[in-house]
Chains A and B, each alone.
Chain A
Amino acid sequence: MPDDVSLPIAEDFQPRIIAFFCNWCTYTASDLAGTSRMTYAPNTRVIRVMCSGRIDPQFVLAALRKGADGVLLGGCHPGDCHYQAGNYKCLRRFRLLKRLLTQLGIEEERVRLEWIAASEGDRVQKVTNEMVEQIRKLGPLRLEKIPTHPNGEAAPAPAEPMATATEGAVS
């Protein structure tokens, strides 16, 4: 972000992070982190989906627009998808999403995609902590600071989730 919009980050800034975890691997790993009593930063809110392939990029955009400072996506390792290849679909969309975010003036580091297997409770802990640290460094997401479009209009600030940029919906 340009210098003029970066404000000092408050000491007590608690990043708000939404995590979309697939039911079979990452959500289970997250449960395992719990049963193993691995403490980690309390900033993530996990939303369960059956497969990372279900994660519509619009969910990510909606989360950021509604006040999340970062979004974490979690799926099964390549080759391990419960539905054969949903995670690959997710990866493809994720790459495009990152480009889109950059164009919107949002740091791409605010979104992260991780493959975490059901046995990797420790990775949930590690990735969550890293993600929180990363977002802390970036500071709160201030969408009103998004630079204006080249044609002088403000960047589209989607009003309804369903109305967000359809280019997010790529397969």
Chain B
Amino acid sequence: MKYLYYPGCSLKGTSRGYEESILAIFEKLQLPLQELEGWNCCGATAYMAVDEIKALALAARNLALAEQVAGNEPVSLVAPCNSCYLVLSKAQRHMEEFEDIGDVIVKAMREAGLRYEGHVHVRHPLDVLVNDVGLDALRRAASQPLNGLKVACYYGCQVVRPYATFDDQHNPQTMHELLKAVGAEPVDWSLGTRCCGGSLTGTIEKAGLRLCYILLREAKVRGADAVATCCPLCQFNLECYQGQIASMFGDEVDIPVTYFSQLLGKAMGIDERTLGLKRLFVPLTTAAV
């Protein structure tokens, strides 16, 4: 099995910490990720609203490139961004399900000298870590376990919806299991897959921030020391708007919002700079760690 890494735009920008921590932990787990050469934007959800087929074609190009690199080998395209993960999966499924979409994209790809046979397996790092690397390997690698750090595991939407491929749609557990394996203590809360507002925070701010507020408040109510995320947009929304949320709703919601991979990395003893933890606005209080 070949593992190719599809960073997506955010991991090269606002969520550098996600990329840094993902690459570092995979390195440490001896499964180094190779970045897909020449990748382009996945097509992202915002674009779907304007021109769905073009969005899917953008995604399909990445799939075709991955297939090309892998040759005949089975290949996993690891996409840490929930949005990329969904759009890449959706492109794959829509091409199969809707003949007219598939036809247009296949034709256009041929024009552009591309070919896609449908052999790429789009994967999220949560999936790869639990199912391929395994919890035992994680436990072994955790040289500095997190000692009961209380974490609100937040999966967001698009990693389990609409396609629940590797985890339960209503009660996902992979992040819980990973963090438990390295000594953290997931808090019991019901909002692990409730929407953070996505791009609404930037477009219809009031609506978007309300959703973030609900999540942050509940995480605090449940006694979490930190929120762990697996999606750049979720992390950005939950972390960067905390100030505005506080003034809009008159309620302090300061809580560190990390990537799950940063917490795993920390437990593996990787230093904070390498994990991008220094890039957080609200520092992860290590008192509990």
The answer to whether any beta carbons of A and B sit under 8 Å apart in the complex is no
Which positions in B face A, CB cutoff 8 Å?
none
